[in-house]
């Protein structure tokens, strides 16, 4: 493992800031600590909502006191690849920057239509967006009018699925 491999996380934060997931799942026995917004995830597991308020400037502000197993154990595909030397640090940062650029583009476009969703997890915002606008206009009109956002979201998911999301998704986050 290279010394600086974990440093990619401080340039990223996508597993905590709502880019990848709407929720972080906690185990049956873990207590509901104050400061988190608890909910039951779509698959009925105990979870807290993301973005997590403890993430500040892409860094966990309670890193040494993180109360949940998922916070300590989660390592995305990209981090694992850097640790095992299958992806270089430079290429990992390039991928992170690609996601950041797409994410900013999508958020700007989405928030023009749904300013009240500022700060919510991106998958959740996108779902609401499709449900709301998809139901008010025909499919063809919807695609014509919002094709740019849909394409950017498709590209974002493609990168996330290819480079970040692992089997851990099922175990720890959703």
| Residues binding ligand SF4 (CB under 6 A) | 8-9, 12-16, 24, 52, 54-55, 60, 62, 66, 71, 74-76, 78-79, 164
Q: How far is the CB of 74 from ligand SF4 (least distance, A)?
A: 6
Separation between Cα atoms, residue 170 and residue 139, nearest integer Å: 31
Q: How far is the CB of 73 from ligand SF4 (least distance, A)?
A: 10
Kindly list the distances between the CA atom of residue 168 and the CA atoms of 1, 7, 69, in Å, as whole numbers in the listed order.
20, 20, 12
Q: How far is the CB of 36 from ligand SF4 (least distance, A)?
A: 8
Closest CB to ligand SF4 among residues 36, 153: 36
Other CB atoms within 10 A of residue 130 CB: 15
Separation between Cα atoms, residue 56 and residue 10, nearest integer Å: 10
Closest CB to ligand SF4 among residues 125, 160: 160
Other CB atoms within 10 A of residue 64 CB: 5
Q: How far is the CB of 32 from ligand SF4 (least distance, A)?
A: 14
Separation between Cα atoms, residue 10 and residue 141, nearest integer Å: 41
Closest CB to ligand SF4 among residues 14, 153: 14
């Amino acid at each position: 493992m290279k010394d600086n491999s974990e440093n990619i996380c401080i340039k990223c934060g996508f597993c905590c800031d709502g880019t990848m997931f709407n929720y972080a799942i906690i185990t049956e026995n873990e207590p509901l600590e104050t400061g988190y917004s608890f909910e039951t995830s779509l698959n009925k597991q105990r979870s807290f909502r993301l973005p997590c308020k403890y993430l500040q400037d892409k860094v966990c502000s309670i890193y040494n006191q993180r109360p949940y197993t998922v916070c300590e154990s989660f390592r995305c595909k990209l981090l694992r690849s850097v640790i095992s030397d299958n992806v270089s640090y430079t290429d990992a940062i390039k991928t992170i920057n690609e996601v950041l650029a797409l994410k900013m583009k999508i958020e700007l476009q989405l928030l023009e239509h749904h300013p009240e969703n500022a700060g919510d997890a991106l998958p959740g915002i996108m779902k609401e967006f499709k449900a709301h606008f998809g139901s008010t206009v025909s499919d063809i009109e919807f695609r014509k009018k919002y094709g740019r956002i849909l394409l950017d979201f498709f590209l974002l998911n493609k990168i996330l699925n290819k480079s970040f999301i692992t089997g851990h998704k099922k175990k720890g986050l959703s």
